């Protein structure tokens, strides 16, 4: 049920978000405590502000009401993915080259399952990460990536 709502919301939100010159990063539909939340994450090259979130929320809310895909009460939350934005697609990873990232894998590579450092390259099949701790470059096959996100460097 929640996958259907997530997929349908994505389908409805993409043209709204893209029509405003923004990017749809992710959609989540989950229960927190006793309340359901539909979370929509948007971004752009220049970042997003409260007005962008408000405009998307208003238009998406109207569309969701018209389509009536969610039965029962829920809260719609439109926001930025934050400084540690998830990298969910190959396009996201390509745009992150040169930035500080945190990547986990399904299985160990060179005895490691977590990699943090500068993403120095991505060729659609493999990520090159210059390790923060060991000053070593790791080559992580894309198909072994469990999660990837931007990381704040301290």
71 and 97 assigned to the same domain:
no
Domain count, the chain: 2
Say whether pLDDT at 1 is over 60: no
Residue 65: what pLDDT? Answer: 93
83 confidence band (pLDDT: 50, 70, 90): confident
Residue 107, domain extent: 90-150
Any domain includes 84: no
Any domain includes 71: yes
Alpha carbon 126 to its chain centroid, in Å, reads 19
Any domain includes 48: yes
pLDDT tens sequence across 113-124 = 999 999 999 998
- Mean of pLDDT values over 47-74: 94
Any domain includes 108: yes
Any domain includes 100: yes
105 and 137 assigned to the same domain:
yes
Q: Sign (positive/negative) of CA torsion 101, 102, 104, 108? A: positive
61 and 118 assigned to the same domain:
no
pTM tops 0.75: yes
Any domain includes 125: yes
Residue 134: what pLDDT? Answer: 66
Say whether pLDDT at 61 is over 60: yes
Specify the CATH number for the domain of residue 73: 3.30.300.70
Distance CA(67)–CA(12), nearest Å, equals 9
108 and 58 assigned to the same domain:
no
130 and 103 assigned to the same domain:
yes
Residue 132: what pLDDT? Answer: 73
Q: Are 79 and 94 in contact (CB under 8 A)?
A: no
- Mean of pLDDT values over 127-153: 89
pLDDT tens sequence across 11-39 = 999 999 999 999 999 999 999 999 999 99
- Mean of pLDDT values over 90-103: 93
Distance CA(118)–CA(130), nearest Å, equals 5
Any domain includes 85: no
105 and 43 assigned to the same domain:
no
- Mean of pLDDT values over 72-98: 92
DSSP 86: B
- Tally of CB atoms within 10 A around 130: 16
107 and 139 assigned to the same domain:
yes
Residue 41: what pLDDT? Answer: 95
Distance CA(32)–CA(126), nearest Å, equals 36
Q: Closest Cα partner for 38 from 50, 49, 48, 27?
A: 27
What's the mean per-residue pLDDT of the chain? 92
Say whether pLDDT at 45 is over 90: no
Specify the CATH number for the domain of residue 100: 2.30.30.180
Q: Which two tokens stand for residue 19?
A: 């029509």
Question: For residue 121, with 0-12 CB atoms within 10 Å meaning exposed, 13-18 middle and 19 or more buried, which class applies?
Answer: middle
72 and 109 assigned to the same domain:
no
């Amino acid at each position: 049920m929640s996958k259907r709502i997530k997929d349908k919301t994505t389908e409805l939100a993409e043209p709204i978000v893209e029509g405003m010159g923004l990017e749809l990063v992710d959609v989540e539909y989950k229960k927190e405590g006793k309340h359901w939340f539909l979370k929509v994450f948007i971004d752009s090259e220049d970042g997003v502000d409260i007005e962008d979130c408000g405009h998307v929320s208003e238009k998406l809310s109207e569309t969701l009401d018209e389509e009536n895909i969610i039965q029962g009460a829920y809260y719609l939350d439109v926001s930025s993915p934050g400084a540690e934005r998830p990298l969910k697609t190959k396009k996201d990873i390509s745009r992150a080259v040169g930035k500080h990232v945190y990547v986990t894998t399904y299985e160990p590579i060179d005895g490691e399952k977590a990699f943090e450092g500068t993403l120095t390259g991505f060729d659609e099949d493999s990520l090159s990460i210059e390790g923060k701790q060991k000053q070593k470059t790791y080559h992580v096959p894309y198909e072994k990536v469990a999660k990837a996100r931007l990381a704040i460097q301290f």
